[in-house]
Amino acid sequence: MKRMNLNHFTTVIFLLAAILTTTATGQTALDTRITSVESQVIDWRRHYHEHPELSNREVETAKHIATQLRSMGMQVETGIAHTGVVGVLDTGKPGPTIGLRADIDGLPVTERTPVPFASKVNTEFLGEKTGVMHACGHDTHIAMLLGAAKVLTDMKDELSGKVVFVFQPAEEGAPPGEEGGAELMIKEGLIDKYGIEVMFGQHISSGLDVGKIRYKLGGIMAAVNSMRIVVKGKQTHGSRPWGGIDPITVSAQMIMGLQTIVSRQMELTKEACVITIGKIKGGVRSNIIPEQVEMLGTIRTLDKDMQVDIHKRIRRTLTNIAEASEAEVEIEIDKGYPITFNNHQLTKDMLPALNAAAGEENVIVTNPITGAEDFSFFAQEVPGLYFFVGGKPLDVSEYDAAPHHTPDFYIDESGLITGVKTMVHLTKRYMELHTQ
């Protein structure tokens, strides 16, 4: 083999160094641009945290989001799916149309966190007085997406195509008798109207260290179906139960029967599933066996075939238990949310963007989550990628971190910048891969 000419070798080394330097400089410039919005993102987050609104009631939240997007020079549409907001960044150059989504609703939870911007909002929910709190981190989702919008708008000249910023209401579920959320946005034509061809979404996690990202190919979050069960018996005096049919006792048997469906009938090595009864109501005093009992519950599945099977088993089990006691049962299982499914090819293509945002060592493959997300409706329409961003302080153990949907739910704001970086890097990479 001929010995390489020294001058030629030096030239190759110089060119490689120049390429690496250019790449590193570009990366540093982008990271600097992203970091510069961090304080604004935290301010936004605190505003939304202090002023939460329930599903389909996010009126002031929507107004504030629209104002921020217009200040960035975006085309803005409001009133989508009641209170949704969409902002469009059009680069004026040919390229893909990317959807970036954040949910915006709070929960009927009374806050206990000792932060100066804690929510003091009170309202009525399903006939009961309650506080309102961003107890699932949707305030951080809004702030992180606004931060990404600011960065991407400022670097518009470097992009090709369009970015559609989707601020979605009612992720936690529309009030009874109303439509809402991602499903209603799609029904109203969001995807077709804006020509969205891919969707990205993220969720803050109070149990994941700040600076880290969790993702998974395929099903990452469960399908959810709400269940209403009405057990009808025959009212009698509490001293002589044989004179009637006790729906409370029958309901207790049903609850245990539902649990044995999961523990003894479902193939849990295939995928996890959960049946939970969260509310039971019946009777007015200690010495009256009531006429009926109402139970509310939730069903979580991570496999479509298992979902169909478990619904059949629920109906059969409850019907048979009722018949054995000469009671009657009515069972309602709603349509719910489908499995949140990450498109395999999209996820593989976007992994370098996740690594660029958080560092490869901080990007972790997760097990599927039995929580549910209506981002799943978007991912049924176009390829989607959904992931988790860390919000847990490093000095707090995962065991001690307050769960989502609780009064003590807490997020370390130093983790928000990772969410901004991720949305920016995902947008940039997708455009690079899909712009000719």
Catalytic positions: 337, 413
Could you tell me the two tokens for 11? 């030239």
The token pair at 331 is: 């069972």
Q: How far apart are CA 135 and CA 55, in angstroms?
A: 13
Measured CA to CA, the distance from residue 80 to residue 71 in angstroms comes to: 20
**Gap between the Cα atoms of 125 and 132, Å rounded:** 9
Query: Could you tell me if 422 and 201 are in contact, meaning their C-beta atoms sit under 8 angstroms apart?
Result: no
Strands 97-103 and 162-168, sheet pairing: parallel
Q: Are 310 and 201 in contact (CB under 8 A)?
A: no
d(CA 151, CA 374) in angstroms, rounded, equals: 27
Q: What are 92's strand-pairing partners?
A: none
* Neighbouring-strand partners of residue 76: 87
Q: Can you read off the two tokens belonging to residue 335?
A: 């349509």
CA-based R_g, the chain, Å? 25
Measured CA to CA, the distance from residue 133 to residue 118 in angstroms comes to 8
Structural tokens at position 101: 């989504």
Q: Select from 282, 277, 275 the least CA-distant residue to 248.
A: 282
CA angle 429, 33, 194 (to 5 degrees): 45
Evaluate the CA torsion angle 169, 171, 176, 180 in order and state its sign. Answer: positive
Alpha-carbon gap, residue 293 to 232, rounded angstroms: 7
Residues near 366 by Cβ (< 8 Å), separated by ≥ 6?
214, 215, 216, 220, 388
* C-alpha separations of 275 from 47, 181, 226, 230 in Å: 36, 24, 10, 17
